[in-house]
């Protein structure tokens, strides 16, 4: 950076450190503030820039090629990477790196939320004050905020770190999405530990292909600061094994005795897996221990392994892992719907082919008479995974009820049509029901249940809304199933 530009940058950093606000939304700019023109603005950049100047922005942070009009009173700060610059400004404003908190990043397609809850309990039991940023909520002792993104925007993320630090939090556990990594929403942060749990089909509408998806995840391990941070990866996942080969200082964890050349390994053995939970035996660098958990399914056994790997990386020992034993689950993650009819009904967030295979496989292992699955596919998202989701349901269900998830701006019937081919490859006796209205689909599924059956309601999990045509409608699967049970078995129609 040329000397004059560097001096201007240091001046801006100093002003932001003294409290000057930075905005990324031109509508929110107040006179004298900084406006960062993000690359995502695309062809609307000129419009957003003009609006920020009209509102009195004193500084414009922008990429190369941006020129201010001759009449502009603002000062231009040209930077090679605006998201990275925003992270540095946010860290300066909120004094993020002076707060002394440890930060743990969890990335992967499936399991991030469960592992964040596991780590929250594990680290709290070890005497830490823990904050969690994830899909369900942003929370720390005394505060819970509804989450609108798995990983918040950069400025908001640093603000939350600051609030947690002020409230005495010493460890932050973050679900870190591939979008957030690619868009550098985590710029300006330094992680003490990072874990990759898996990489399966999702978000290919954004990333284009698996290689780009993997490279986005890999940024957490290869591109962000703190090269001495603890790294862990799932050696039972092909991309996790690849990451281990590229990061020889990372620790692998495996339930399948996978081998990673040169990496330290946490080995686990799934001793039992029943409707009452799982039993594990672990081995790490000559130390052995066991863990019993009420979590159901082999996928949750892998989640327990990931949490233990991170715990070891943060200095905990085998004895500390027993704190995981009482954990019973996450809202919307294989959550049992309690009812007075004795019906076995579970709600789960599974919305990818791999997640459906995992949760349905776990229920299949419990030897129910029939597995009934209600599922849909999200609108304005990766269309290629729709038939694959249906295929997973067809393979492991006796009754498949195809309905709406969050159709957003797409026609629900078209989404169903995209998924339908995957159901055609199921067994000959597979019962297929199509019902675009999600509540009616739940009523039909509940009405089909016989003693010994299990019903899985997949896709929305903890969400308490349904997005239809840009409108957020109140809708909770757990509440809707309860209402359907009362109507079907109580003879009442609301």
Q: Is residue 330 part of a domain?
A: no
* Torsion sign, CA atoms 177, 180, 184, 188: negative
51 with 144, same domain: the answer is no
Using CA atoms, how far apart are residues 112 and 124, in angstroms rounded to an integer?
18
340 with 299, same domain: the answer is no
pLDDT-derived band of residue 494, with 50, 70 and 90 as boundaries? Answer: very low
- If one compares 490 and 69, the residue with the highest pLDDT of the two is 69
- Quote the tokens at residue 102: 């440890």
pLDDT in tens, 227-249: 789 999 999 999 999 999 999 99
443 with 317, same domain: the answer is no
- pLDDT at position 331 is 85
Domain count, the chain: 3
- pLDDT at position 203 is 54
Q: How far is CA 105 from CA 132, 178, 196, in A?
A: 10, 12, 9
Domain span including residue 450: 335-490
425 with 399, same domain: the answer is yes
Residue with tokens 């757990």: 478
255 with 120, same domain: the answer is yes
Q: Is residue 235 part of a domain?
A: yes
| Number of C-beta neighbours around residue 315 at 10 A | 10
319 with 356, same domain: the answer is no
Q: Is the pTM of this model over 0.85?
A: no
pLDDT higher than threshold 60 for residue 107: yes
Q: Is residue 171 part of a domain?
A: yes
Q: Is residue 329 part of a domain?
A: no
Using CA atoms, how far apart are residues 425 and 115, in angstroms rounded to an integer?
33
Element (H, E) at 165: helix 154-166
| Bridging pattern class, strands 344-348 and 335-336 | antiparallel
* CATH code of the domain covering residue 179: 3.40.1190.10
pLDDT in tens, 111-141: 999 999 999 999 999 999 999 999 889 999 9
Q: Is residue 448 part of a domain?
A: yes
258 with 280, same domain: the answer is yes
Residue with tokens 């920020």: 52
Residue with tokens 């592992």: 115
Q: Among residues 324, 359, 388, which one ends one of the domains? A: 324
* CATH code of the domain covering residue 78: 3.40.1390.10
């Amino acid at each position: 950076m040329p000397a004059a530009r560097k001096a201007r940058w240091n001046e801006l950093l100093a002003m932001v450190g003294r409290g000057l606000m930075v905005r990324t939304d031109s509508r929110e700019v107040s006179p004298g503030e900084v406006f960062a023109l993000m690359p995502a603005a695309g062809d609307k950049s000129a419009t957003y820039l003009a609006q920020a100047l009209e509102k009195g922005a004193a500084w414009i942070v922008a990429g190369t090629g941006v020129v201010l009009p001759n009449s502009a009173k603002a000062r231009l700060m040209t930077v090679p990477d605006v998201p990275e610059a925003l992270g540095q400004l946010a860290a300066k404003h909120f004094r993020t790196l002076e707060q002394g908190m440890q930060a743990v990043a969890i990335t992967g397609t499936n399991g991030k939320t469960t592992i964040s809850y596991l780590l929250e309990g594990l680290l709290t039991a070890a005497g830490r004050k823990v904050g969690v940023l994830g899909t369900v909520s942003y929370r720390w002792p005394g505060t819970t905020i509804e989450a609108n993104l798995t990983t918040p925007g950069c400025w908001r993320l640093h603000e939350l770190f600051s609030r947690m630090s002020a409230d005495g939090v010493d460890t932050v556990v973050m679900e870190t999405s591939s979008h957030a990594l690619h868009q550098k929403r985590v710029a300006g942060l330094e992680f003490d530990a990072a874990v990759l749990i898996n990489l399966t089909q999702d978000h290919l509408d954004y990333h284009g292909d698996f290689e780009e998806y993997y490279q986005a995840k890999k940024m957490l391990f290869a591109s962000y600061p703190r090269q001495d941070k603890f790294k862990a990866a799932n050696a039972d996942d092909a991309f996790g094994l690849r990451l281990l080969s590229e990061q020889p200082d990372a620790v692998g964890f495996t339930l399948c005795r996978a081998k990673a050349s040169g990496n330290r390994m946490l080995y686990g053995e799934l001793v039992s897996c029943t409707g009452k939970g799982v039993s594990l035996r672990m081995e790490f660098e000559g130390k052995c221990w066991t863990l019993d958990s009420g979590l159901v399914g082999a996928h949750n056994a892998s989640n327990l392994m990931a949490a233990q790997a991170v715990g070891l990386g943060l200095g905990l020992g085998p004895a500390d892992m027993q704190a995981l034993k009482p954990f019973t689950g996450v809202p919307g993650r294989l959550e049992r719907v309690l009812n007075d009819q004795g019906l076995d009904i579970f709600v789960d967030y599974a919305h990818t082919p791999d997640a459906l295979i995992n949760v349905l496989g776990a229920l299949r292992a419990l030897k129910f008479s029939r597995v009934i699955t209600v599922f849909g596919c999200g609108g304005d998202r990766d269309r290629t995974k729709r038939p694959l989701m249906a295929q997973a349901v067809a393979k492991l269900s006796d009754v498949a009820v195809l309905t709406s998830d969050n159709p957003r701006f797409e026609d629900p019937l078209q989404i169903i049509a995209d998924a339908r081919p995957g159901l055609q490859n199921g067994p000959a006796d597979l019962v297929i029901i199509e019902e675009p209205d999600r509540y009616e689909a739940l009523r039909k599924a509940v009405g089909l249940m016989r003693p010994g059956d299990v019903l899985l309601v997949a896709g929305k999990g903890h969400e308490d809304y349904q997005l239809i045509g840009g409108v957020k409608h109140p809708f909770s699967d757990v509440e809707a199933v309860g209402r359907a049970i009362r109507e079907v078995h109580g003879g009442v129609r609301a």
